[in-house]
Structure 1
Amino acid sequence: MANVTPPKYVRQILFSLQSRGFAAYLVGGCVRDILLGVRPQDWDICTSALPEQVLDVFPGSRPTGIKHGTVTVVIGSRSAEVTTFRSEGDYTDHRHPSSVAFVGDLTTDLMRRDFTMNAMAVSADGLIIDPYGGAEDIRRGCIRCVGAPEKRFDEDALRMLRAFRFSSRLGFEIEPATLAAIGKKAPLAAGLAAERVSAEVEKILLTARPETLNTVISLGLIDKYLDRRAAPEKEQLHRIASLPKKALERWAALCRLLTVSGAIRSAEQFLTALRLDSRSIRCCNDACEMLESPAPGSPLEWKKLLRQYGVDSVSCAARCHDALCGGSSCRALKAVIKSGECFSMKQLAVDGDDLAALGLRGRELGEMLSFLLGYVMEYPDNNRRELLLSLASASEE
C-alpha cells in the first residue's frame, strides 16, 4: 500500500472503536486515494457499531445523518464521518434508497458502493479488504461498477456522471460493460437535479481532460439541457485545459464550443437551466457574445468592449479566445488596462456633480457624460477636468 499515513485523529477514532469491541475501517474514496499515492481530503470510516454506540464512544459527536447510520465524530478541531455497516433498499427515484438496514459485516456494506475502486476498506493495521478487485482495477486504470452496472445506475443515475468525472480526473478508462450500461441508462440522467449535473460537469471541466465531455454529450447524459445532441470534437474540448483552473472561464469556453457545434442557442439559456449563479451566467453570456466577432485590433476597440461589458467579462473572453483560437488577446488587453487609459465613467476626469454645476440635469447630463467618455476613449490624453468642462459648456451654448 502507498505510504500515506492517516492523521492522528483518524487513527484515534479507529482504535477507540476497536478498543470497545467494534470493527472499524477506513473506507471508500480515502482508500482509493491512498492506493493512488494521493493524500485524501476526507477520511471516511465504517464500523460495526450502531450510530447510538458511536455516540456513546464519542460523546461530543454530531448525529449528522443518523437515519442512514452516519455520525460526525469530532476530535479536537478535526472531524470524520463514521457510518455503520449497512445495506440499502430499493431506489425508487434513481437517486436515493427508500430504506437502509444496518448489517453486521463489511462485505455487504462494500457491495452497495458504485465502483470497485471505491469499494475497498483498510483496517487500522493496514490490511486491505478488497472483495471486488478494486486495487487491480486501479492498477489497470479501469473504472468498473460493483456487480451489475445497469443495476448500479438504476439505483443512482448520478453514478453515470461520476464515472466520467473519475475518468477525467484520473485518466482511467471506463470498462466496456460499464460504458455500455451508461449508454443504455443515459435517459435516467434527465431526472437528476440540475445542480447535481452542473456540479459534475464543472468537476470534469476543471480536470486536465475536459475532452471527456465529448462522450458525456454523445451518450446523451445532458440532453435535457441542450437544444440538440451535437458534441464538440475532443481536440476542441481539450483546448479548455489550457485555461486557468477557474470554473467561470472554463464554463465560458464550453458554452462557446457548444454554440459553434449547434448544441445550444445561448450560454444564458444553457447555464440558467443548469442553475448556475447569475454572475457566472452574465459573464459567460457576455464572453460568448464577444467571441462571435474577431478579436479587437486596436486599443480603442478593446476600450469599447471594456466600456460595454466590464473588465471581468472581457478578460474572460480574451482568455477563451487565446485558448480556443490561439493569439495574443490577453496580452493586448493587459496592455490597454495597464495604460490607465479611460474606458469607464469612474475613470473620467469629471463626474455628474461637475456637470450638474453647469446646469445639466437628467437625461442631458447622462448623455453628456456618455459623450465625454467616448471622446476621451478616442483621445486619451484629453482626459483633463478643465478641458472636459470646457467641452461640456461649449456644447450647451
Structure 2
Amino acid sequence: MMNEQFQQALSVIETLKRHGHEAYFVGGAVRDYILQRPIGDIDIATSAHPQEVMAIFPKTVPVGIAHGTVMVIERGISYEVTTFRKEGRYEDYRRPKDVTFVRSLYEDLQRRDFTMNAIAMNEHGEMIDPFGGIEALKRRIIETVGDAAERFNEDALRMMRALRFVSQLGFSLSTGTKQAIMQYGHLLQHIAVERIAVEFEKLLLGPFMSKAIELLMETNLFLYLPELATKKGELAQLGASSLVPAHRIEAWARLAFVVHFDNQQLKKWKLPNHLIRDVSICLKALEHIRSLADWTIDALYEYGPYIPHIERTRAALYGDEPHVSLLMKQWEALPIRDRKELAINGHDLLALFERKSGPWLAEMIENIERAVLHRQVENEKEKLKEWAVCNQRRENNY
C-alpha cells in the first residue's frame, strides 16, 4: 500500500496515462519509500513532452522547460514532472551540451547517477529496477549506474553526492565507485564552488558524517575542496562527536572551529553573507564558552537567539551534553534581552542632563544597560533617570 504522499500524487500519474502517456514516480522519493525514510518532494517522469504536460494540466509552471521539467500544481501541492530524456556529451565535467527527449523509461533511468536513484514506481506500487538499485539498497551500497568513470566524467559533482549519501544513509561505496573517486577527484576543480558547498553542507549535517569525512580523506577528495587541502589532520577530528548538527549554522561553525577557518576562508566557499555572519558570532562565543559554567549573565545577554547553535556546537566539540533548554530559560528570565527593551533612551538622557550628544551618551546607555541586566536597578523610566543622575555624580566626584 502506497503512503499518503504518493496517494495524493497519483492523480498526476493517472491524468498523464489517461492522455496516452507513460508516467512513473522516480528518484529520491522512491528510494526513501523503499528505505522507509521520510519522503521529500515527489518527482514524476513521463513520456509526455513539456508542451503536452502544460496542455493537460490547468496549473503549471515551466521551471526547467529546456531540460524537460514542468511544475504541475495539484490541490495546492507542487510536483516536478520531467520528460524521459537522455543527455548528450557533457561540457566542463558538469552539464550536458544538449538534452534529447525520449519515449523510453529505460533510457531515462540509464542516465541517472546511482542505482538507488534509478528506480521507478508505477501507479500500482510496482517497482521498475533495471540496474539493481533495490539490491544495492538491501546491501547498503552506493554504486553508479553503469561505468563509474563515465558518470563522474559527465558530472564531477556526483563524487560529492556519493559521499553526501554516505553521510545521510550510512551506506558504503562500491569498490568501483570508490576507486573512480580516487582516480577522478581532481575533476572537482571544474565544478562551481556553490554547487560543491551545497553537497558538503548536507554531508556535514548527516547522521553518518564521520564515515563520510573518513572517505573524504581516504579518497583524497578533500584536496579539491576550498581551503581544506592542508587540513587533513583537523578534518580527522571533525567526526569525533556523535552529536549531529541541528542547523547549517552549527555545521559550518563546527567545521570552522576545528579547521581554524576565519571569515575570509568561509567566503571562499561562496556562502551567503548572513550565514558567514552567524557562524562568526558562534565562533566568537566559542572562544570563551567551553563549559556550562562559562554561560555568564553577560554571555547569555550577548548571544541570546544564538544560544542553541552555540551550545550544541560547544557540546559537540568538548564531548559534553547540550543544555539548550536550561540556557534558553535563563536567557528568557533576564530583566532585558535587548537594549531596545530599556525604558529609557538617548533622547531622555539628553533632556535629563541638558547636554549635547557625544561619547558620554553611548557610555551612559551602556552603563544603564549593564545595571538593569545585573538587577542593580529596575527597568522603569523614573528609576533609571535617578540611577543615571547618581551614577554621573559618582563619576564626577571620582
> Normalised by the shorter chain, which TM-score bucket?
0.7 to 0.9
Stretch moving more, 185-194 or 82-91: 185-194
**Partner residue in 2 for 1:220:** 221
Q: Where do residues 81-120 of structure 1 align in structure 2 (5 Å cutoff)?
A: 81-120=80-119
- Once residues 157 and 131 of structure 2 are traced to their aligned partners in structure 1, the CA distance between those partners, rounded to angstroms, is 21
**Partner residue in 1 for 2:315:** 322
* SS state at 2:91 partner: coil
**Partner residue in 1 for 2:266:** 271
Specify whether residues 152 and 76 from structure 1 end up closer, same or farther in structure 2 by C-alpha distance, changes over 3 A only.
Answer: same
Q: CA deviation at 1:364?
A: 1.9
Q: Where do residues 105-184 of structure 1 align in structure 2 (5 Å cutoff)?
A: 105-184=104-183
Seq. identity, %: 33
Q: Is the 8 A contact 1:141 1:173 kept in 2?
A: yes
Amino acid at match of 2:101: F
Question: Between Structure 1 and Structure 2, how many residues are aligned?
Answer: 386
Stretch moving more, 248-257 or 335-344: 335-344
1:302 and 2:301 equivalent?
Answer: no
**Partner residue in 2 for 1:367:** 363
Stretch moving more, 350-359 or 138-147: 350-359
**Partner residue in 2 for 1:387:** 387
1:228-264 per-position Cα deviation (integer Å, ceiling 9, x unaligned): 2325465642526354x122123212211122xxxx4
Q: Is the 8 A contact 1:4 1:39 kept in 2?
A: no
* SS state at 1:107 partner: helix
Over the aligned positions, Cα root-mean-square deviation in angstroms equals 3.0
- Once residues 166 and 33 of structure 1 are traced to their aligned partners in structure 2, the CA distance between those partners, rounded to angstroms, is 12
Specify whether residues 156 and 373 from structure 1 end up closer, same or farther in structure 2 by C-alpha distance, changes over 3 A only.
Answer: same
- Once residues 320 and 175 of structure 2 are traced to their aligned partners in structure 1, the CA distance between those partners, rounded to angstroms, is 40
Stretch moving more, 134-143 or 68-77: 68-77
- Once residues 287 and 193 of structure 1 are traced to their aligned partners in structure 2, the CA distance between those partners, rounded to angstroms, is 27
**Partner residue in 2 for 1:28:** 27
Q: CA deviation at 1:33?
A: 1.8
Stretch moving more, 313-322 or 137-146: 313-322
Specify whether residues 253 and 297 from structure 1 end up closer, same or farther in structure 2 by C-alpha distance, changes over 3 A only.
Answer: closer
- Once residues 311 and 180 of structure 2 are traced to their aligned partners in structure 1, the CA distance between those partners, rounded to angstroms, is 40
- Once residues 179 and 80 of structure 1 are traced to their aligned partners in structure 2, the CA distance between those partners, rounded to angstroms, is 33
1:281 to 276, 279, 288: 276
Specify whether residues 84 and 341 from structure 1 end up closer, same or farther in structure 2 by C-alpha distance, changes over 3 A only.
Answer: closer
Amino acid at match of 2:360: E
Q: CA deviation at 1:142?
A: 0.5
Q: Is the 8 A contact 1:153 1:159 kept in 2?
A: yes
- Once residues 147 and 99 of structure 1 are traced to their aligned partners in structure 2, the CA distance between those partners, rounded to angstroms, is 20
**Partner residue in 1 for 2:249:** 248
Stretch moving more, 128-137 or 81-90: 81-90
**Partner residue in 2 for 1:191:** 190
Q: Is the 8 A contact 1:70 1:81 kept in 2?
A: yes
- Once residues 278 and 186 of structure 2 are traced to their aligned partners in structure 1, the CA distance between those partners, rounded to angstroms, is 31
- Once residues 123 and 115 of structure 2 are traced to their aligned partners in structure 1, the CA distance between those partners, rounded to angstroms, is 21
Unaligned runs of 5+ in 2: none
- Once residues 38 and 130 of structure 2 are traced to their aligned partners in structure 1, the CA distance between those partners, rounded to angstroms, is 23
1:315-359 per-position Cα deviation (integer Å, ceiling 9, x unaligned): 533332222214578478557535525686446565323431213
- Once residues 171 and 354 of structure 1 are traced to their aligned partners in structure 2, the CA distance between those partners, rounded to angstroms, is 60
Q: Could you state the TM-score of these two structures normalised by the residue count of structure 1?
A: 0.85
2:287 to 292, 295, 307: 292
- Once residues 365 and 229 of structure 2 are traced to their aligned partners in structure 1, the CA distance between those partners, rounded to angstroms, is 42
1:24-70 per-position Cα deviation (integer Å, ceiling 9, x unaligned): 22222222122112353222222222223333333543333222222
Unaligned runs of 5+ in 1: none
* SS state at 1:87 partner: strand
* SS state at 2:232 partner: coil
- Once residues 314 and 59 of structure 1 are traced to their aligned partners in structure 2, the CA distance between those partners, rounded to angstroms, is 47
Q: Is the 8 A contact 2:247 2:309 kept in 1?
A: no
**Partner residue in 1 for 2:200:** 201
Amino acid at match of 1:258: V
Specify whether residues 371 and 33 from structure 1 end up closer, same or farther in structure 2 by C-alpha distance, changes over 3 A only.
Answer: closer
Amino acid at match of 1:241: L
Specify whether residues 10 and 396 from structure 1 end up closer, same or farther in structure 2 by C-alpha distance, changes over 3 A only.
Answer: same
- Once residues 24 and 367 of structure 2 are traced to their aligned partners in structure 1, the CA distance between those partners, rounded to angstroms, is 70
Q: CA deviation at 1:73?
A: 2.6
Amino acid at match of 1:46: A
Q: Is the 8 A contact 1:304 1:343 kept in 2?
A: no
